[in-house]
């Protein structure tokens, strides 16, 4: 009899311990749910709310004393069709189709105002009955920020389009009187007025041609940004393009006593399909920079490689000051001239920007490697 009483006492003690642990677990679970930053609502197949945590009450502005409505009255995106006919008439998403999916939408608060939410629903089984749990997050601030960002981007794009249109119109307006200045200067150059008048006319022509070159660059940039630059593709010899370009830059190189070395053996019979005018523009710009930013009695070398069967790569290397690694990307930014005050050369800072865009339009790439004090090497790779 004593053993039986002891056994009953032990069993009662175990049951009491289990009950206390179970109560602690339930309290712990309730505390976790109520302190969650996400709203948590459990409901049955008819949409009747079983439990709701503090975060969900805050999202929907539901006071503690308020009587809870059904879940779809707070989240109209969920519907509970009783049959297939009702399913077809659903204005929201049938409950079964929302399971495991992240869904965004507007929800109705207790006072009738709306809030943007993101929710996901999962199914649980309790005593053979299906119940559902919705995890809800208020994304109103995020949606406002996204809308502000979209508006700011639209305003920026409109401003960019207006700037491009302004530059294009202004470039055309400037070229009209400038062509007259250049035309009459060329007529004057045909006559011998003696010194120093002949030299003055030459200076006018040089300044006018330089200004025309700058205007054309701005016009090209505005066309590129407006995506209105068309290329005239032809079968051309890149060797011939390089030779023609060298003739344009040779005098400038001779004035600075810069040697230009050119190896075109691998290009002698190469033909590529591209825009010859734009290809010449790219090479001329790179050669001009190689001469302008080179040191006195420096060297410029032009080499051609074939990294792949269907590609050619034109390398233009100089012995100038070079560019620090952290500044290599900046040289392709429009109007960003590195150390512009320390260079006694003219320019707008958009030549390399135009080159990169033109190469990309042609389906190629332009890369640069450089070491301060040792010079730079630009490589233009184009498809054949």
Q: What is the mean predicted confidence (pLDDT) over 29-43?
A: 81
Which pLDDT does position 88 carry in this prediction? 65
Which of 76, 109, 138 finishes a domain?
138
Which pLDDT does position 99 carry in this prediction? 85
Total structural domains within the chain: 4
Would you call 94 helix, strand, or coil by DSSP?
A: strand
Tell me, what CATH number does 214's domain have? 1.10.287.130
One domain, residues 133 and 148:
no
Q: How does pLDDT run across 268-311, given as a tens digit for each residue?
A: 678 888 888 889 889 989 998 899 888 888 899 998 887 777 88
More confidently predicted of 22 and 207: 207
CA-to-CA dists, residue 372 to 136, 258, 260, 377, angstroms: 56, 19, 21, 12
One domain, residues 134 and 258:
no
Tell me, what CATH number does 95's domain have? 3.30.450.20
Is the distance from CB of 157 to CB of 142 less than 8 angstroms?
no
Which of 108, 138, 168 finishes a domain?
138
Is the distance from CB of 338 to CB of 323 less than 8 angstroms?
yes
One domain, residues 75 and 59:
yes
Residue 187 has pLDDT above 80, yes or no: yes
Is the distance from CB of 373 to CB of 321 less than 8 angstroms?
yes
Q: How does pLDDT run across 264-280, given as a tens digit for each residue?
A: 776 667 888 888 888 98
Sign of the Cα torsion 200, 201, 206, 208 reads: positive
Would you call 36 helix, strand, or coil by DSSP?
A: coil
Is the distance from CB of 105 to CB of 77 less than 8 angstroms?
yes
Q: What is the mean predicted confidence (pLDDT) over 163-181?
A: 77
Residue 163 has pLDDT above 60, yes or no: yes
Rg (alpha carbons) of the chain, rounded to whole number: 38
One domain, residues 67 and 103:
yes
* Rounded Cα distance, 133 and 343, in Å: 68
* Rounded Cα distance, 42 and 71, in Å: 9
Q: What is the mean predicted confidence (pLDDT) over 156-162?
A: 80
Q: How does pLDDT run across 334-358, given as a tens digit for each residue?
A: 766 665 545 555 556 788 888 999 9
CA-to-CA dists, residue 116 to 24, 40, 60, 144, angstroms: 36, 16, 10, 10
Residue 318 pLDDT class (50, 70, 90 cuts)? very high
Q: What is the pTM of this model?
A: 0.55
Parent domain of 195: 144-225
Residue 9 pLDDT class (50, 70, 90 cuts)? low
One domain, residues 285 and 187:
no
Chain centroid to CA 306: 31
Tell me, what CATH number does 285's domain have? 3.30.565.10
More confidently predicted of 201 and 5: 201
Estimate the share of the chain in helix, then strand, then coil, as percent rounded to the nearest 5: 50, 20, 30
Q: What is the mean predicted confidence (pLDDT) over 215-224?
A: 77
More confidently predicted of 82 and 156: 156
Residue 176 has pLDDT above 90, yes or no: no
Q: What is the mean predicted confidence (pLDDT) over 158-175?
A: 76
In sequence order, the 6+-apart residues with CB closer than 8 A to the CB of 239 are 264, 267, 268, 270
Which pLDDT does position 228 carry in this prediction? 73
Which of 225, 256, 271 finishes a domain?
225
* Rounded Cα distance, 121 and 268, in Å: 69
One domain, residues 61 and 12:
no
One domain, residues 220 and 299:
no
Sign of the Cα torsion 10, 11, 17, 21 reads: positive
Residue 192 pLDDT class (50, 70, 90 cuts)? confident
Q: What is the mean predicted confidence (pLDDT) over 144-151?
A: 91
Residue 3 pLDDT class (50, 70, 90 cuts)? low
One domain, residues 117 and 128:
yes
Phi-psi region of 223 (alpha: psi -120 to 50; beta: other; left: phi over 0): alpha
* Rounded Cα distance, 78 and 216, in Å: 60
Top mean pLDDT of 23-32, 133-142, 180-189 is at 133-142
One domain, residues 8 and 123:
no
């Amino acid at each position: 009899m004593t053993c039986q009483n002891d056994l009953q006492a032990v069993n009662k003690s175990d049951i009491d311990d289990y009950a206390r642990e179970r109560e602690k677990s339930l309290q712990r679970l309730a505390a976790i749910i109520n302190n969650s930053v996400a709203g948590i609502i459990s409901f049955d197949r008819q949409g009747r709310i079983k439990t709701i945590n503090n975060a969900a009450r805050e999202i929907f502005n539901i006071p503690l004393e308020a009587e809870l409505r059904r879940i779809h009255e707070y989240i109209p995106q969920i519907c509970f069709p009783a049959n297939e006919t009702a399913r077809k008439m659903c204005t929201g998403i049938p409950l079964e189709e929302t399971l495991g999916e992240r869904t965004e939408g507007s929800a109705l608060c207790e006072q009738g105002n709306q809030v943007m939410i993101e929710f996901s629903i999962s199914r649980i089984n309790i005593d053979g009955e299906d119940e559902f749990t919705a995890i809800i997050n208020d994304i109103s601030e995020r949606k406002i920020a996204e809308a502000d960002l979209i508006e700011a981007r639209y305003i920026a794009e409109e401003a960019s389009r207006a700037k491009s249109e302004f530059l294009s119109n202004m470039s055309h307006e400037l070229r009209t009187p400038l062509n007259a200045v250049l035309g009459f200067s060329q007529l004057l150059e045909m006559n011998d007025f003696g010194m120093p008048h002949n030299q003055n006319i030459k200076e006018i022509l040089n300044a006018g041609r330089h200004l025309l070159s700058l205007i054309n660059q701005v016009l090209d940039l505005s066309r590129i940004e407006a995506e209105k630059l068309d290329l005239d593709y032809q079968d051309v010899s890149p060797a011939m393009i390089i030779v023609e370009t060298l003739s344009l830059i040779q005098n400038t190189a001779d004035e600075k006593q810069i040697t230009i070395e050119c190896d075109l053996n691998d290009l002698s019979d190469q033909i590529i399909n591209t825009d010859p005018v734009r290809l010449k523009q790219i090479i001329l710009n790179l050669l001009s920079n190689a001469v302008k930013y080179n040191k006195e009695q420096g060297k410029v070398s032009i080499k051609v490689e074939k990294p792949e069967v269907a590609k050619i790569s034109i390398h233009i290397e100089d012995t100038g000051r070079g560019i620090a690694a952290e500044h290599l990307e900046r040289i392709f930014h429009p109007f960003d001239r590195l150390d512009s005050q320390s260079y006694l050369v003219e320019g707008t800072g958009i030549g390399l920007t135009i080159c990169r865009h033109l190469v990309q339009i042609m389906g190629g790439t332009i890369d640069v490697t450089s070491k301060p004090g040792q010079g730079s090497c630009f490589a233009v790779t184009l498809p054949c």
